[in-house]
Structures are given as C-alpha cells and as structure tokens.
Homo-oligomer: A and B are copies of this chain.
Amino acid sequence: MATFTLASWATNLTYANLTAPVVDAAVKSLYNWAGCAIGGMAQAAPQIALNTSTAAGFGGPPTSGILGLNGTSADAQVAAFVNGIASHVDDYDDTHLAVTIHPTGVVASALLAVAEARSSASSALSPVSGPEFLTAFVAGVEAELKLGLSVYPEHYDVGWHITSTTGSVGAAVAVGKLLGLDTQHLQHAIGIASTQVVGMQAFFGSDTKSFHIGRATQGGMLAALLARGGYTSSPTALEDKYGWLHVVSTRENATATFAELGRGTWEIERNTFKPYPCGIVMHPIIDGAIQLRNETLEQGKDVESIAKIDLRVNPEVLVLTGQTDPQTGLQGKFSIYHAAAVGLLYGAATPAQFTDQVVLNETVVSMRKLVNVTTDDSVAEDQAYVTLTFSDGSTMEKFVEHAIGSLANPLTVEDLKTKFLDQASRQIGSARAAKAYDAFTSIGNLTDVGKLSTLF
C-alpha cells in the first residue's frame, strides 16, 4: 500500500491544503536553496558538471537557467543537475535534523527547471503559477522526508547519503504533480525513481557528495517524464519484497508513515537553515568558538595565547567530521578541528573560511593542532562544550545549549536575508542579489514561476 498511499496523497494535494506555516516554511526553504545554488556556482564541482555536459554535447535547446550564472541556460536536465550540485556543494543548504536530509536541493532543482521548460516558447503547456509550484514542492518534500523517516536511522547508518536516496523519489513526486499525473502514473514514476539509488557516504569530502544531489534531480525528473509517456514500473515499487524499502533498509514502516501525510506534522515545518557552510554537527562548536573569541578579545587577551582547546561533543561529531588534517576547503567542512580553529581565529565560518587557502594556512593548521575532542553521549547533537586553556594557565569555558540554526534557535528572517545576500552578492553582484532575493521571496505570488530567473 505504501506506494499507492504516497501517490494518492500527492495527486490529491491542493494549495488550499497548505497551512500558512507550511507555505512560509516552503518559501523560506526555496529562497535559502536559491541563495545556496547561486553562491555555490563559485565552486569547481558545478562548473565541471556544466562544462562536461556542454563539451559532451549533452545539452538540448536551453530552456532553464543556471542560477549562479548571468543569463546562462541549459536544457532542463542539465540545469537541474548543475543547480542541484551548486545548491549543496558548500554544505550550506537546509537540514531536517530528525533524519539528516537536506530536503530542498533535489526537489527544487528539478521542479524549477521543469517549470522553466514549461514556460519556454516551445512548450504547449500553461505556465506554472506560484501556488501550483509551492504545492508540487511541498508534495515532493513531504514525500522524501516521510520516506526517510520510515527507514531512519538504519538506512543512513549503513552508509547511504539519505538526502539523494530519498530525494529522487521526492523529485519524481514533485515533477509528477506538476505534470498532472494521476495516481497510477505517479506510482510508476515513484517506482522508476526509487530504482535509481544514488549516494553513499564514502564520498563526503569530495565533489561526488554534491553530485548525488544533482544526479538525484535528474533521476526523479526522468522518472516522472517516462511515467507520463506510459513507461511502466511496479505499482508496489516501494513495498515490494525486492523493492526500495527492503533492498536499501532493514525495515518497512512506510505504509504507517505515509498514512500521516498531511495530517499532524508537516515535515517541512521542521526544516532548518544553516548559519555555517559545513556539516551541521559542527555548528554548536563554531557557535561556542565564536563566542569565546569575542570574550577573549573583550578581556584584552589574544587568541594566539591559546595553548589548548578542549571540545566535548556528541559522538556523531567524530563519525562525520573527524578529519584531523584536512588538505582542501571541502575536507575542512568535515573537520571539527578546522571548525573550532576558524571560529576562534576569524570569529566567523562563512564560505571564505572553507577555502583551500585557509585550510592550508599555517596559523590555522597550528590552531587545529591544539584541539582535543572528547565524545559524550549526554551531549545532544545541537549542543557542545568548548574549553580554552591559555598559555598563562587561565581557562574559559562555553556551553552551547542549542546551536544557532537549530529548531530551538532558528535563523530569523533577517538572518536568512543576510545569508542570501552574502552568498548571492559574491557570485552575481549586490544589485542582482537584491533582485533575486525579492523574486524568490515572492515566489508564491508569481503567475509564471518559469519566468522567475528573468526577474534578476
């Protein structure tokens, strides 16, 4: 029943079903994603992905924008691929903490590219309105998050990158919804998406991590398009004995989880936004380090007089971000040692602190070597203890109860605006960044979301 339940719920969902907090969370998720996708284009991974597709001649007529490039378009599958990679490459995108899924990247990258293709001159279909777009987006996000919750943590603990493995199903649901598939065709789309399982944790710290997001956008989009064309799959794809739930997990709770769709908790309301472009488990340490830097300076001390840095953290921190000696900016995002060092040295952890240059900087390397990490089950994932010992023997301690950006301590609308403008300005300049902010924050009011990229 799981596949049918999901497909049936999604096909029946209307904009009127979305509560105001759901719409608010959806819009925030979308503009936070757009800022990440625009800013992320500065990185090598999305550029190589675009250049490779172009050089290989894989692009059809351009219909859909590359968000971070001025006026550059590609066909929907290439645009979705590149935007998907760009939106995740800085590890700065959103997070549903209960399931460690970054929910917007895969779904939104697929959806915007398809909406733009539909708005292009050659399309015979009507344009996609803001409410239509938001409804399809919420359908896709709820689908991937409920699917993820039904197999978490087993599926994640085996080593799957749960954002992309569930994301392709979310993208298929969202794009299928936009295409107006009926329940049966959407079941086929879910099946075709589910059999493409992309993403393993072995690739965290390399370009392939963000490739997962880009590839899952394409897989979900292709699934919906094929299903519309009559391509058959299995109506019981997810729950089949040899289907997704059993093959990539050891349990099958999806039927029960999907029964909760649209009732009680909307998962998108539990989405959170990162203040720092790196693994979310590192955030409480960064908060603590920045606060301690400020207090150190206030007390007239120098951070260069720090002799020892003790961190007490949740055990998951070392599992995910235990790299002691990162060599690249990307590896720095998976080093709690680097996180503590830059928080103390720069009082900030923006993309500028996760470049190759900063990771290899001698002062940063020296500071990293002072860091000692203890794990403690009683410390929650959004908590941390940071203790500094100075060369004069004095100490300073900070307990972070809820990291900035956590559900209990979320970024404000102002924080989100500052983040967006900072990311986007560096890539497309402050004037266009401001216009892009206006366009994405008002996405729900547009009559043709496919024209969104022309607004900035």
* A76→B61 CA distance, assembly (Å): 16
Interface size class of A (residues with CB under 8 A): 35 or more
- A48-B158 contact, Cβ under 8 Å, with A60-B58, A122-B57: no
Q: List 19 A-B contacts (CB under 8 A).
A: A45-B231, A52-B226, A52-B228, A55-B225, A56-B77, A57-B76, A58-B76, A192-B208, A195-B202, A196-B215, A200-B243, A202-B236, A202-B242, A202-B243, A202-B247, A206-B232, A207-B231, A208-B232, A215-B219
Q: With A56-B76, A57-B76, A58-B60 in contact, is A231–B202 under 8 Å at CB?
A: no
**B residues in contact with A58, CB < 8 Å:** 60, 75-77
- Which of B117, B198, B222, B237 interacts with A195 by CB under 8 Å? B198
On chain B, the residues within 8 Å of A63 by CB distance are 57
Residues from 193 to 217 in A contacting B, C-beta threshold 8 Å: 194-204, 206-208, 211-212, 215
Closest 4 CB pairs of A and B: A159-B242, A202-B240, A202-B243, A201-B242
A195–B200 touching, CB < 8 Å: yes
Give the B-binding residues of A (Cβ under 8 A): 44-45, 48-49, 51-52, 55-61, 63, 75-77, 117, 122, 158-161, 191-192, 194-204, 206-208, 211-212, 215, 219, 222, 225-226, 228-234, 236-237, 240-244, 246-247
A204 to B243, CA, bound (A): 11
In the complex, the chain B residue whose C-beta lies closest to that of A64 is B57
Residues of B within 8 A of A206 (CB): 191, 232-234
A159 touching B247, Cβ below 8 Å = yes
* Contact pick for A191, options B59, B61, B208, CB 8 Å: B208
Number of this chain's copies in the assembly equals: 2
CA distance A202 to B52 in the complex (A): 33
The interface residues of chain B lying within 8 Å CB-to-CB of A226 are 48-49, 52, 211
B243 contacts A231, C-beta separation under 8 Å: no
Residue numbers in B under 8 Å from A232 (CB-CB): 206-208
Q: Choose from B44, B49, B195 the contact partner of A212 (Cβ within 8 Å).
A: B195
Of chain B, the residue at the smallest CB distance from A85 is B231
CA distance A386 to B244 in the complex (A): 37
In the assembled complex, the Cα of A140 lies from the Cα of B204 at a distance in Å of 26
- Of all chain B residues, the one with the shortest Cβ separation from A63 is B57
Known interface pairs A49-B226, A202-B244; 16 further A-B residue pairs with C-beta atoms within 8 A, sorted by A's residue number = A48-B230, A52-B225, A52-B231, A55-B229, A56-B76, A57-B60, A57-B75, A60-B60, A158-B247, A191-B208, A195-B199, A195-B200, A200-B243, A202-B241, A208-B233, A211-B231
Indicate which residue in B77, B204, B246 contacts A159 across the interface (CB closer than 8 Å): B246
Query: Which of A52, A122, A228: most chain B CB closer than 10 A?
Result: A52
Neighbouring B residues of A240 by C-beta, 8 Å: 200, 202
Distance in angstroms between the alpha carbons of A58 and B77 in the assembled complex = 7
Residues of B within 8 A of A76 (CB): 56-58
A381 to B242, CA, bound (A): 21
Q: In the complex, what distance in Å separates the CA atom of A229 from the CA atom of B82?
A: 14
What residues of chain B lie closer than 8 Å to A231, measured between beta carbons?
Answer: 45, 48-49, 52, 207-208, 211
State the CA gap A159–B61 with chains docked (Å): 38
